[in-house]
Amino acid sequence: MAERGYRNLNASVLRQISKVLEHDSTADIEPVLKRVYNSYSALRRAIGERQEKRRTVPDEDQEERCIPAKRRASYPAALSGFVSPIQAQRAPLEPHLTNQKPLSCPLLHSVVFPLSHVVRDLLKLTADHESDLSAAALRCVLSGAPIWEGRSRAVIQVGENVVVKVAQHLDSDEHGVLEFLEQHVPNIAAPRPLGLIAIGPTSFMFMTKIPGATLETRWPSLPADTKAHIRCLLDQQLSDLRTLDLPPGSPLGSPVGRRLCKDVRRDERVSITPIYSEPQFNDFLLDSPTSRASSSYKEWLHSMLRADHRVVFTHADIHPRNIMVVDGPRGVVELSGILDWEASGFYPEYWEQLKALNTRSVKDDSDWWNHLPPCILGYDHEVVVDRVIEATAIY
């Protein structure tokens, strides 16, 4: 019904505004209001036109809309808010129908990073149909093949060499970081960014697909010499990454966006303002809102933190699940890429080792930990102090 379409459209407008204000209640929302002003009337008119078309749908097509629920196939949770009944029942089983049937209504969207020509061709977009971007993107994604799914995120393959990361309130810094890497260290085996759009609170980040399987799935069966080979390849990649020093006068953390520092553990903490020195970064580490530690205890911990490390570019989540490998032409397993750059940025030189070890439990007996790249090692003191900080001053 048109009323439902209008409600969804208005709710999408409110979510766009709320997303800006949730980070900063004093933020300038004029850009959002301009986007709404430029697209709202066309989207509302399209809802009415599509409702009028539905009134003339042939009886046999009406019957298709009432397929028994037992035929329904599941979508990733990140997409559940966009799935209409007909799509939930038919699209995964017969993907071609997704390209033929319109969504229940157009949704307000924003272009965070422009879509590449590869993605625009994939979506069959032309300059005359920009208002159809949200519908085209959703049709493409809903008919794609999920290759990874989390609780509120998913990665879906939508083309031979194109995937899209779908997430609620995705940090758009990752797209900017991938652009930064492509410009400054193009030999790093990272995905190439292809554009990012937001439809309501859900972000869709398009990027090139890294071939192969995760090192996590392959590691237990790899022989010792192959594990040493992978370690060497990772060391080359991270050594190249660490040649990027922090430019003078620049803040630590992400090189794009608001240029803030992130500390991802059981949850994610983000600095309120940019951080320009390691002493300020140490203050950030100890300034947890959930901490029950006294100020004198924190001062004692602070006294054990150095403030003279080099600041280098850091992935900040080197783990086998984020490393992709393929079988080379001679049967040798080769590194094909490194995924998940959303926590990366300029951090003290010990941060890579510390973050690589953050997920190691006391019961984990994998030999992966003995194969961390040599270039990130040598900071055991900092790791041990951080374990004390995490156990007593953060949670």
The full DSSP string for 339-366 is ---TT-EEEETTHHHHHHHTT--TT---
**What's residue 44's pLDDT?**
74
Rounded Cα–Cα distance for residues 138 and 248 (Å): 43
Q: What is the crossing angle of helices 278-286 and 380-389, to 10°?
A: 40
Q: What is the mean pLDDT of residues 286-308?
A: 90
Instruction: Give pLDDT tens digits for 34-67.
Output: 777 767 776 776 666 655 655 544 443 333 332 2
Record the tokens describing residue 335, joined without a space. 């590194």
Does 204 have pLDDT greater than 80? yes
Rounded Cα–Cα distance for residues 245 and 71 (Å): 55
Look at 93 and 364; give whichever has higher pLDDT: 364
Q: Is 389 left (phi over 0), alpha (psi -120 to 50) or beta?
A: alpha
Rounded Cα–Cα distance for residues 341 and 176 (Å): 10
Q: What is the mean pLDDT of residues 259-278?
A: 93
Q: What is the mean pLDDT of residues 149-178?
A: 92
Rounded Cα–Cα distance for residues 277 and 306 (Å): 12
Q: Identify the architecture of domain 213-394 in CATH.
A: Alpha-Beta Complex (3.90)
Residue 245 DSSP class: B
In the chain, count of helices (H) and strands (E)? 13, 13
Domain ranges, ordered by start, for the chain: 2-208, 213-394
Residue 394 DSSP class: I
Q: What is the mean pLDDT of residues 237-265?
A: 95
Q: Identify the architecture of domain 2-208 in CATH.
A: 2-Layer Sandwich (3.30)
Tokens 């309130």 appear where?
169
Contacts of 186-189 spanning 24+ positions with Cβ under 8 A = 187/240, 188/237, 188/240, 188/241, 188/338, 189/237, 189/335, 189/336, 189/337, 189/338
Q: What is the mean pLDDT of residues 341-351?
A: 97
**What's residue 58's pLDDT?**
42
Rounded Cα–Cα distance for residues 61 and 67 (Å): 11
Instruction: Give pLDDT tens digits for 96-143.
Output: 434 434 444 457 888 999 999 999 999 988 766 666 788 889 989 998
Record the tokens describing residue 349, joined without a space. 């030189």
Confidence of residue 8 (pLDDT cuts 50, 70, 90): low
The answer to whether 147 and 141 have CB atoms below 8 angstroms apart is no
Q: What is the mean pLDDT of residues 218-246?
A: 96
Which pTM value belongs to this model? 0.77
Cβ-Cβ contacts under 8 Å for 19 (sequence gap 6 or more): 169, 198, 201
Rounded Cα–Cα distance for residues 324 and 347 (Å): 24
Q: Is 253 left (phi over 0), alpha (psi -120 to 50) or beta?
A: left
